[in-house]
Amino acid sequence: MQLKTQDWRRERIFPLSLQTVHWASYTPGEPWLVLAGNESTRGRIELVDLQGGEAWRYKANTTHPVAVLLPEIRAGLILQSGGATQIRYLDQH
């Protein structure tokens, strides 16, 4: 099967600030995309609200952070150098 990218068209643009994405994840049943990467020389996590079209940005103390969403406790964790930082992403609506 040949993929014809010339027929692709944009459906929606999401506001990201990351220059490099090292990791992406989603949680089944949640309208969020988790991106981990770098903005300049700093590590960042961006949670992209796929329904609302907003991106929530979090600092990380390492250049390769990872984040997971835990909707059952209305929180997420940024896993980084020295431990984990809890975030309350569902309270931002």
What range defines the domain where residue 19 resides? Answer: 14-92
In this structure, the chain runs to a length of 93
Kindly tell me if the per-residue pLDDT of 24 is higher than 70.
Answer: yes
Residue 1 lies in a domain: no
pLDDT tens-digit series, residues 25-47: 988 888 899 999 998 888 999 99
SS3 92: helix
Question: Strand 75-80 and strand 83-87: pairing?
Answer: antiparallel
Considering its fold, how many domains does the chain have in total? 1
Domain assignment of residue 4, yes or no? no
The pLDDT score that the predictor gives to residue 80 is: 87
Sequence-ordered alpha helix ranges (H) in the chain? none
Phi first, then psi, for residue 6 (nearest 5°) are -65, -20
> Does position 8 have pLDDT exceeding 60, yes or no?
yes
pLDDT at 62: 87
